[in-house]
A and B are shown apart, each in its own frame.
Chain A
Amino acid sequence: MTARQIMTADEIRRALVRISHEVVERHGGTADLALVGVQRRGVPLATRLALDIAEHEGVTVPVGALDITFYRDDLSLVAHQPIVKGTDLPFDPNGLTLVIVDDVLYTGRTVRAAMDALMDFGRPRAIRLAVLIDRGHRELPIRADHVGKNVPTSREEVIRVHLLEVDGDDQVEIDRLGAEVALA
């Protein structure tokens, strides 16, 4: 195995606690604030951020789930249509500050698609971006407002984020792009 661990469960937890403080500080409180997790691993991350915020602010901010499948710009390139996981925004985004939460920021195309999708639901006052890992190689003029860990990578490497809710354990690994080249 060439996989190397770059974040432990504790490091993920601390990064999320820090981001939860940053989000509230940047927004100046929790009023009119909502978190939007990008399917799939962004959703549990957003839920954890909301729990952290509830712990230190005593306020539960709403959490939504966003499936960006229909907004991807590479649908004509993929071999099979991706399975749709579901969008659920339990709030009216008009006038809110929305924080998009995702596990890895790479080309920026997912975030572009997420912003397009959110705009179809209304006109948020602002959209911000929080990611657990920023691995560089942007193809669009997009940056994150809150980053758990910056990881310099080459394009031949893959970042694997494991989350308890999805994968059964908490850790982040980096690996050489090998046989699983076809897996997004």
Chain B
Amino acid sequence: MSLSADPQAPPISSGAEPATDALVDRGWRHRHLLDVAGLDEPDLDLVMRTADEMRGILARPIPKVPALRGISVTILFYEASTRTRVSFEVAAKNLSADVVNIAAASSSVAKGESLIDTVRTVEALGADVLVMRHGRSGASDLAARVFSGHVVNGGDGWHAHPTQALLDLYTLRDHLPDGDLHGRKIVIVGDILHSRVARSNIWSLTTAGADLWLCGPATLLRGFEPLAAALPASRRLTVTTSIDAALAGADAVMALRLQQERMSGGLLPSLREYAARYQLNAARMVGAAPDAIVLHPGPMNEGVEIASDLAAGGRSVITEQVANGVAVRMAVLYLLTGGRTTETADG
């Protein structure tokens, strides 16, 4: 099964099925974080619990621990970003890692260096962890094939944005009773087609047991109905063009940015028509649960996919998402950098 209306997108496996047993206290088993599709429920739970500890560190007068001392983290971004890049940088520094930032536009990439050569160069310069964002789906998988350390996908094309999905999950657990997503109705509204955030959230939220709804104009949902039909019954995914049906009784609603830079071929008649039919605003939220929360991965087009008063209102957890992003990325960096040789006994 493939999610790809995106011709660049690599096929995506159906991922691990949710564990039926109680969550086991096992360690982290993944060398890279390229995607959330390979994470099962105990994996997600481990990231969440580790992020809880990281949030405790962030609340201290000096939010810094020496856990990653001597580890070099290189942040290589081929696409524009503020919050994700800075969030990774702050996360790495809070753990005492050494951070190198490379903006592709001002690097040898501009002279035509290939992705693989750039990754080899970064490795030769001593990087242990490579955090990468790239406009092409599958770019971080390619980097992981040549890099000897750990690769964290900071967003690749339309394919995946795993740390965003993890911080969304963390924020949702924070607000839902008992931190339990099972049976909770969560809605993602907007430009699903171009969204790596949506593609990653589909796996993490259905793994966590949520009743997930995708909503938007038919042109921006292409390929997702066959996906929903092909999923096993243990993953609850509904695709609809009706925003009222989607929002009815929803516990949480996430608006996605309308990616105007990726719009072509008449997918939308106009921004105004989109806003009129799908904008998340206070009037539409009346249909949702009374205490439903509102999320947005940012950056926002206020007045297009989300109304300004809703984004800044009491239901919005958008700034919490940003703060939680640091804790979740600290957890990811910490868990991934597990070692090289055997464990030593300590007393």
Contacts and interface: CB of A to CB of B under 8 A. Distances in A.
Interface in B34-85: 46, 49-50, 52-53, 56-57, 60-62, 64-68, 70-71
Contact of B46 (A74, A83, A181): A83
B344 interface: yes
Nearest to B57: A70
B341 A77 contact: yes
Contact of A81 (B27, B52, B346): B27
A20 interface: no
B346 A80 contact: no
B342 A79 contact: yes
A104 to B, nearest CB: 5
Which of B62, B65, B342, B346 neighbours the largest number of chain A CB atoms within 10 Å of its CB?
Answer: B346
A22 B320 CA distance: 47
B135 interface: no
Interface stretch (B173-181, B183-191, B284-292, B330-338): B330-338
Contacts of A48: none
Contacts of A80: 27-29, 338-339, 343
Given A81-B337, A135-B347, A120 B27 contact: no
Nearest to B46: A83
A74 B344 contact: yes
Residues of A contacting B: mostly:
loop
Contact of A78 (B62, B95, B338): B338
B70 A76 contact: yes
Nearest to A85: B53
Given A84-B50, A84-B53, A76 B339 contact: yes
A171 interface: no
A70 B65 contact: yes
Interface string A147-184: 00000000000110000000000000000000001111
B21 interface: no
A87 B53 contact: yes
A75 interface: yes
A75 B56 CA distance: 20
A78 B53 contact: no
Contact of B60 (A86, A104, A120): A120
Contacts of B341: 77, 79
Contacts of A75: 67-68, 337, 339
Contacts of A183: 343, 345
B345 A79 contact: no
Interface stretch (A3-11, A24-32, A106-114): A106-114
A52 interface: no
A116 interface: yes
B261 interface: no
B340 interface: yes
A83 B25 contact: yes
Given A69-B67, A184-B345, A81 B28 contact: yes
B346 A120 contact: no
A81 B343 contact: no
Contacts of A104: 347
A76 to B, nearest CB: 6
Contacts of B61: 121-122
B178 to A, nearest CB: 18
A107 B346 CA distance: 7
Contacts of B346: 72, 74, 106-107, 109-110, 184
Which of B52, B65, B343 neighbours the largest number of chain A CB atoms within 10 Å of its CB?
Answer: B343
Contacts of B68: 75
Contacts of A109: 346-347
A108 B60 CA distance: 26
Given A75-B68, A80-B28, A104-B347, 11 more contacts: A70-B67, A72-B346, A75-B337, A76-B340, A81-B27, A81-B28, A82-B27, A121-B60, A122-B61, A158-B345, A184-B343
15 contacts: A69-B67, A70-B57, A70-B67, A77-B339, A79-B341, A80-B343, A81-B28, A81-B339, A84-B53, A105-B347, A106-B347, A107-B347, A120-B64, A181-B345, A184-B344
